[in-house]
């Protein structure tokens, strides 16, 4: 801020050495980091004209108010989701916040009053209130808006020219409007016509202010074609409409304001002096907002670093001379407290709250519990219904004498009805059994139920996964947020061409889902039946904006909202999203590689390429139409293909034909996933095959109104899609989103089953032998029994065996399809398998005559498909929180060659599969049996291209604590690498208190890696780190665990960190390269480290000191105690340091080798445990 000898810049020259009301200079009293200041700068400030409040708006659309000179936060609310706040104006009812495209009015407590936006508001910049109901809005646009706040309407639009209006100031005779080119227009307040114009600066206008009849401006001048800050403040007398003597400043002025309480004095603000005066800590921060209170006792500055600086001339400044009282939140009444076992203090010392007569009490029962309900009548005995004779509306039947006289039994059957086995037919399949608790009971087989994981004190590390997975195939942990997609990830993993493409993919993009899926697939390939944690993939998935926009991100903070989510619809949307996302990412990487190889030809100017610059006579000359290079077009199409489109892509031709003029528009596209379209409005046909529905879904035809360019209006248009190629793998979404579609699927199943039963009854008389049931003796393992074909009774045995249930042995969904593509048509035929042929007919497996005739004409492509994977939505009606998704996959022999063909087939579950199907894949034979070559995506370049990249904004090298590997130090198989990692907590552990008083873990805490350190294990630089990376995180950290990790708040934030901060991906690829190189990792507790990092390392490459120095059936020993006992080192005194821990683990391994060579390792371990028991496993102090 510029001061002259008297302390302030005088407009009319220094008339006096002292200014009344100013006793000393302004000093800084408060510096506050505004809400969102770590991400957005403060771009708008305004002192409230009615209350003791200071209002702030930042570049993220957030508004916050602070009370009085103590800067106590008063209110805080979001005005816009993304646009910055351009100006804040206080009115009597509240505040007005202006963004680029909207105007928001809110009361001071934060409640919105109205939001106005229109097509006239494109780039708003400023506003000015002329009266209590009239407001002017302007900006970088050619219209000035006259807005009526009482009716919230735009009453007038005034043309201000292309340059627009970026500043508005009030005068008693004019409305002063400044444009960016340095001109100030003085307009009539009533009609807003230009009365006078002042050309202030030759370059641009930076700021101006008005006091009385003086107008002072600052800006930029154009000198030799460049803009430079003008050191002179231009002063104009509005009475004479001419300039007076300008004021020279010693600094470059950017903002200026008159002191409201002092006449003929003003302040001039510049960036350089603000930095010196405010002592802004953030480097590169500049002043973005500036305002002065009406009493001139306080000044506020906002900078790009998100801070608000308050300067005042008095110790306790006031913002307004006569401010009204600000309404604060009611104080919570405090009552005297007393011990729970104090029987002498009367309870009346805590008064009851005064409640009005019209307000409900907390003890009142809700209305839905106060309705009179009647006991449901028991079901009528079947014997009565059988023998009843109807006479008119009244039925008569003899008393079966099954109940006592004048007594009605309300206890429904519990054993007989549930244990009965009835024949499934289309007539009785929907009849509800009279069960007390099972009217909606569905017996879900054990293998499809949602598993409740019970953890012990060791958490997920000691969970017996092998009891629930006897296939030898790897699985995925499902306890992380958004892990609903695990079933579809498994389906993608067992698609060999896709797995090979993702394992060969690597790019430099931080959050690339294709890269993360490739990393996850590598984990599954090396897991050897153990479950893997998809944390890194889900972390990247949460950062993709498209996934959030599609509603695919589920918040873990609102479990009650998760119960209302339709997982079936969600997984279908995820299927479409992931295929499109992988296609885009792989195609982008492919184009970047090709751009690096292609050498572009030099540009040659041709006049025919720019016809707009030719004269009018030359335009009339006919330009020869260049010949279409078909080979070049085909090459361009191939460039737009990725491995995903080559595998899943179905090329389509969209044809839109106007039914009036015949104008046709054709467009090509690629379909990655097909959504089934069910027939509507066709009552004449009630039986459909799945092939018919799939044909209509792949080649839909419809007539709908659409815009015709030739007719110039909306006309009836025929829209059709014609297939041009068939995919290798067909991805289908069932789209069962409503009851009508489920009923259609069910009706088709009923018709198939009815035909089968009818054909069986005609061929073979029904046997009177009752169906075999399980033994009446209960199984000793109960519902936890996992033995196949168990002879004893279980609670889920009421479901009949598949051989007796026609709904399980006959399905509307075929296992095999044959698709024949013609030039303008598609024919899909079900291919019968041996099993279904015996059940339905004895005709050989062949296509129908109609299909054979169709195939004979213009066949383009023919492919046979087999059902390879199904994703089912399992929903228990009585337990909505137990819904889950299950994948049924036909595992190719490449993944598990030792299992037979029978076990590889896709299973059909025994409970209403038609209601469970959501997505399924059909694959051709070449996909099922192909073995694609996998190109290693990682090389030693990961240590040079990504290894040293620091994303911290400070950019200093002071945080580098490691020496990178040289070319001669590249890892080789068997090299020792000491490693340690530190973690932070993203959410707290969920636990419950059991009846025995012990805590049971329901959901373990979610950890995120914060620091990874790797140390050389041999050579001249043994013990020197070559990786010591802090991992940046964009998620909210609940606990930094500083005592155990050494991570301080701000270390993982790129805006404030002074460490060597990198992305998780850049460090992960280095660890993967070390693992692939065959090095041996040495550390303490590496099993948990690798699990959280999402890395599966073979056991022969891991040396864990926690197991080296351990006796069976004894406790594990901490690294701190081991280092003190064997090495005489005291580590982890205050906090943990991963470099120190890794060195200690390496030295302990060397010590173990020495003891092993001497043959004294057994006695050393016994001595260790004896010493630990004496010291209670605590390292003694000095």
* Per-residue b or e along 599-608, where b marks 16 or more CB atoms closer than 10 Å to that residue's CB: eeeeeeeeee
d(CA 889, CA 920): 9
Torsion, Cα of 75, 81, 84, 86 (10° steps): -70
Instruction: Report, as an integer, the average pLDDT of 841-847.
Output: 40
Q: Compute the average pLDDT of residues 927-937.
A: 74
Cα angle, residue 1072 at apex, residues 1070 and 1076 outer, rounded to 5°: 120
- Per the CB < 8 A criterion, the answer to whether 1151 and 1161 are in contact is no
Q: What is the Cα Rg of the chain in Å?
A: 39
pLDDT in tens, 449-482: 777 666 665 555 666 667 777 777 888 888 888 8
Condensed to tens digits (0 to 9), the pLDDT of residues 196-235 reads 999 999 889 999 999 888 999 999 998 877 888 898 899 9
What's the pLDDT band for 801 if we cut at 50, 70, 90? very low
Query: Which are the contacts of 495, defined by CB distance < 8 A and separation ≥ 6?
Result: 647, 729, 868, 869, 921, 923, 927
Tell me the three-class secondary structure of 186-238, residue by residue: EECCCCCCEEEEEECCCCEEEEEEEECCEEEEEEEEEECCEEEECCEEEEEEC
Detail the residues annotated as belonging to a binding site. Answer: 980, 982, 1089, 1141
Average pLDDT over residues 81-101: 95
* DSSP structural state of residue 1125: I
Q: Cα angle vertex 928, ends 925, 931, to 5°? A: 115
Model pLDDT, residue 558: 65
d(CA 883, CA 875): 4
Nearest Cα neighbor of 305 from 42, 604, 581, 103 is 42
pLDDT of residue 605: 46
Q: Is 1135 exposed, middle or buried (0-12, 13-18, 19+ CB in 10 A)?
A: middle
Kindly report which listed range (839-843, 1000-1004, 1077-1081) carries the lowest average pLDDT score: 839-843
> Residue 373 has which token pair?
């309900």
Q: Which range is least confidently modeled, 13-22, 779-788, 851-860?
A: 13-22
pLDDT at 116 over 80: yes
Task: Give the count of beta carbons closer than 10 Å to the beta carbon of residue 666.
Answer: 10
User: Tokens standing for 131?
Assistant: 């009266």
Q: Which residues are annotated as a binding site for a divalent metal cation?
A: 980, 982, 1089, 1141
Q: Is the pLDDT of residue 264 over 50?
A: no
Angle at which helices 513-526 and 496-503 pack, to 10 degrees? 110
3-class DSSP state of 779: coil
Using one digit for the tens of pLDDT, what is the confidence trace for 527-542?
Answer: 887 888 899 999 999 9
Identify any residues that bridge with 115 across adjacent strands, giving them in sequence order: 104
Q: Which two tokens mark 940?
A: 């030693």
Nearest CA-CA partner of 204 in 183, 187, 176, 235:
183
Query: Mean per-residue pLDDT for 235-257?
Result: 89
Sheet with 650-658, edge to edge strand ranges: 664-671, 650-658, 713-723, 701-708
pLDDT tops 50 at residue 834: no
DSSP conformational letter for 601: P
Query: What pLDDT score was predicted for residue 107?
Result: 95
DSSP-derived secondary structure for 407-451? -------SSHHHH------TTTTTPPP--SS-TT-----GGGSPP
What is the arithmetic mean of pLDDT over 878-898? 77
What is the rounded CA–CA span in Å between residue 76 and residue 110?
7
The two structure tokens encoding residue 406: 């004048």
How many other C-beta atoms are found inside a 10 Å radius of the C-beta of residue 112?
Answer: 12
For the ranges 75-89, 259-273, 539-553, the maximum mean pLDDT occurs at 75-89
DSSP-derived pairing of the beta strands 72-78 and 87-90: unpaired
Q: Cβ(69)–Cβ(86) under 8 Å?
A: no
What letters, b where the CB count within 10 A reaches 16 and e where it falls short, cover 992-1003?
eeeeeeeeebee
Fold of 448-594+640-760+802-933: Cathepsin B; Chain A (3.90.70)
Separation between Cα atoms, residue 1120 and residue 1127, nearest integer Å:
10
The percent of residues above 90 in pLDDT, for the chain, comes to 41
Question: Can you give the pLDDT at residue 598?
Answer: 54
For the segment 343-362, the average pLDDT, to the nearest whole number, is: 78
> CA angle 857-682-426, nearest 5°?
100
Q: How far apart are CA 475 and CA 1036, in angstroms?
A: 28
Mean pLDDT of the chain, nearest integer: 80
Encode pLDDT of 736-771 as tens digits.
888 888 888 888 888 888 888 887 776 654 444 444
Using CA atoms, how far apart are residues 76 and 22, in angstroms rounded to an integer? 33
Residues 475 and 451: their CA atoms lie apart, in Å, by 13
Residue 910's Cα: distance from chain center in Å?
35
- Measured CA to CA, the distance from residue 676 to residue 188 in angstroms comes to 65
Q: Structural domain boundaries of the chain?
A: 448-594+640-760+802-933
- CA-CA distances (angstroms) from residue 776 to 412, 420, 772, 1059? 21, 12, 12, 68
Which residues are bridge partners to 1062 per DSSP? Answer: 1031
Residue 793 is given by DSSP the state B
Question: Model confidence over 304-319: pLDDT tens digits?
Answer: 999 999 999 898 999 9
Q: What is the pTM assigned to this prediction?
A: 0.60
Looking at the predicted structure, is the pLDDT value of residue 271 above 50?
no
* pLDDT higher than 80, residue 1047: yes
Q: Which helix (H) or strand (E) holds 330?
A: none
């Amino acid at each position: 801020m510029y001061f002259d000898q008297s302390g302030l810049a005088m407009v009319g020259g220094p008339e006096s050495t002292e200014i009344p009301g100013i006793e000393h200079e302004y000093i800084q009293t408060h510096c506050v980091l505004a809400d969102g200041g770590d991400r957005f700068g403060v771009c708008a400030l305004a002192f409230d004209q009615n209350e003791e409040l200071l209002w702030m708006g930042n570049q993220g659309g957030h508004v916050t108010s602070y009370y009085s000179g103590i800067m106590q936060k008063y209110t805080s609310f979001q005005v816009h989701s993304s646009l910055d706040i351009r100006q804040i104006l206080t009115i009597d009812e509240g505040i007005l916040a202006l963004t680029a495209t909207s105007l928001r009015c809110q009361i001071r407590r934060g409640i919105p009053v109205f939001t106005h936006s229109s097509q006239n508001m494109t780039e708003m910049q400023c506003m000015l209130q002329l009266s209590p109901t009239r407001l002017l809005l302007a900006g970088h646009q050619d219209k000035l808006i006259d807005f009526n706040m009482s009716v919230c309407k735009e009453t007038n639009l005034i043309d201000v020219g292309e340059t627009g209006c970026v500043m508005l100031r009030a005068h008693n005779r004019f409305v002063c409007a400044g444009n960016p080119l340095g001109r100030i227009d003085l307009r009539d307040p009533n009609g807003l016509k230009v009365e006078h114009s002042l050309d202030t600066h030759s370059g641009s206008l930076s700021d101006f202010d008005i006091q009385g009849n003086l107008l002072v401006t600052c800006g930029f001048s154009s000198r030799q074609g460049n803009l430079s800050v003008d050191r002179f403040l231009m002063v104009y007398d509005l009475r004479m409409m001419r300039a007076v003597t300008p004021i020279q400043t010693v600094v470059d002025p950017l903002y200026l304001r008159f002191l409201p309480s002092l006449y003929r004095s003003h302040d001039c603000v510049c960036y350089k002096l603000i930095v010196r005066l405010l002592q802004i800590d953030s480097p590169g921060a500049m002043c973005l907002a500036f305002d002065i209170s009406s009493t001139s006792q306080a000044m506020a500055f906002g900078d790009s670093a998100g801070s608000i600086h308050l300067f005042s001339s008095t110790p306790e400044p006031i913002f307004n001379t006569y401010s009204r009282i600000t309404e604060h939140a009611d104080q919570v009444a405090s009552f005297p407290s007393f011990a729970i076992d104090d029987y002498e203090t009367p309870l009346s010392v805590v008064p009851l709250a005064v409640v009005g007569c019209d307000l409900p009490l907390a003890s009142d029962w809700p209305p839905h519990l106060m309705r009179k309900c009647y006991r449901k009548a028991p079901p009528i005995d079947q014997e009565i219904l059988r023998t009843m004779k109807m006479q008119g509306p009244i039925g008569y039947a003899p008393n079966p004498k099954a109940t006592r006289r004048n007594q009605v039994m309300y206890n429904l059957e519990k054993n007989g009805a549930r244990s009965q086995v009835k024949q499934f037919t289309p007539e009785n399949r929907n009849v509800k059994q009279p069960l007390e608790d099972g009217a909606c009971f569905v017996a879900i087989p054990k293998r499809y139920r949602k598993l409740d994981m019970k953890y012990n004190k060791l958490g997920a590390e000691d969970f017996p996964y092998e009891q629930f997975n006897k296939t030898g195939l790897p699985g995925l942990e499902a306890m992380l947020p958004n892990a609903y997609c695990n079933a579809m990830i498994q389906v993608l993993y067992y698609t060999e061409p896709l797995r090979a493409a993702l394992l060969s993919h690597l790019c430099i993009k931080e959050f690339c889902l294709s890269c993360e899926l490739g990393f996850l697939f590598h984990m599954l390939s090396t897991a050897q039946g153990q479950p893997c944690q998809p944390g890194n993939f889900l972390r990247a998935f949460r950062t993709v904006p498209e996934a959030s926009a599609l509603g695919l991100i589920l918040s873990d903070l609102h479990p009650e909202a998760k119960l209302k989510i339709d997982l079936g619809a969600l997984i279908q949307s995820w299927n479409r999203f992931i295929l499109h996302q992988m296609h885009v990412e792989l195609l982008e990487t492919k184009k970047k590689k090709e751009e690096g190889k292609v050498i572009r030809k030099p540009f040659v100017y041709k006049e025919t390429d720019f016809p707009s610059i030719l004269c009018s006579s030359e335009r009339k000359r006919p330009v020869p139409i260049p010949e279409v290079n078909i080979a070049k077009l085909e090459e361009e199409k191939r460039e737009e293909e990725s491995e995903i489109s080559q595998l899943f892509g179905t090329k389509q031709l969209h044809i839109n034909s106007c039914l009036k003029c015949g104008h046709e528009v054709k467009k090509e596209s690629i379909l990655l996933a097909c959504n089934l379209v069910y027939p509507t409005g066709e009552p004449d046909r009630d039986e459909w095959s799945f092939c018919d529905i799939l044909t209509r879904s792949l080649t839909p035809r419809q007539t709908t109104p659409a815009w015709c360019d030739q007719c110039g209006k909306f006309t009836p248009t025929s829209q059709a899609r014609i297939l041009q190629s068939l995919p290798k793998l067909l991805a289908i979404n069932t789209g069962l989103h409503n009851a009508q579609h489920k009923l259609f699927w069910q009706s088709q199943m009923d018709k198939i089953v009815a035909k089968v039963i009818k054909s069986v009854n005609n061929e073979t008389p029904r046997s009177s032998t009752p169906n075999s049931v399980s033994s009446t003796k209960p199984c000793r393992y109960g519902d936890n029994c996992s033995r196949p074909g168990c002879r004893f009774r279980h609670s889920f045995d009421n479901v009949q065996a598949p051989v007796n249930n026609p709904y399980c042995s006959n399905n509307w969904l075929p296992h095999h399809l044959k698709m024949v593509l013609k030039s303008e048509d598609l024919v899909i035929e079900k291919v019968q398998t041996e099993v279904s042929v015996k059940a339905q007919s004895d005709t050989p497996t062949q296509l129908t005559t109609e299909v054979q005739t169709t195939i004979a004409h213009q066949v383009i492509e023919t492919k046979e498909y087999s059902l390879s994977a199904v994703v089912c939505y399992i929903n228990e009606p009585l337990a909505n929180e137990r819904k889950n998704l299950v994948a049924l996959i036909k595992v190719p022999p490449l993944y598990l060659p030792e299992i037979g063909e029978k076990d590889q087939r896709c299973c059909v579950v025994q409970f209403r599969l038609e209601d469970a199907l959501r997505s399924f894949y059909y694959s051709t034979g070449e996909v099922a049996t192909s073995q694609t070559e996998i190109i290693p995506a990682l090389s030693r370049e990961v240590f040079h291209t990504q290894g040293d990249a620091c994303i911290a904004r400070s950019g200093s090298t002071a945080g580098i604590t490691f020496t990178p590997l040289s070319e001669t130090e590249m890892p080789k198989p068997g090299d020792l690498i000491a490693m340690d990692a530190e973690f932070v907590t993203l959410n707290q552990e969920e636990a419950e208190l059991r009846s025995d008083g012990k805590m049971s873990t329901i959901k373990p805490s979610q950890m995120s890696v914060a620091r990874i350190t790797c140390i050389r294990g041999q050579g001249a630089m043994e013990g020197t780190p070559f990786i010591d990376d802090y991992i940046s995180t964009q998620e909210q950290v609940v606990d930094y665990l500083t005592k155990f990790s050494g991570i301080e708040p701000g270390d993982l934030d790129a805006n404030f960190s002074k460490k060597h901060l990198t992305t998780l991906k850049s460090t992960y690829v280095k660890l993967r390269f070390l693992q692939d190189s065959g090095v041996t990792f040495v550390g303490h507790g590496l099993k948990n480290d690798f699990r959280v990092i999402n890395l599966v390392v073979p056991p022969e490459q891991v040396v864990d000191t926690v197991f080296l120095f351990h006796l069976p059936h004894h406790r594990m020993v901490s690294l701190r105690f081991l280092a003190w006992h064997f090495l005489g080192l005291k580590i982890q005194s205050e906090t943990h340091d991963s470099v120190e821990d890794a060195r200690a683990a390496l030295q302990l391994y060397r010590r173990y080798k020495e003891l092993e060579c001497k043959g004294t390792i057994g006695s050393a371990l016994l001595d260790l445990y004896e010493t630990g028991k004496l010291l209670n496993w605590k390292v003694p102090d000095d």
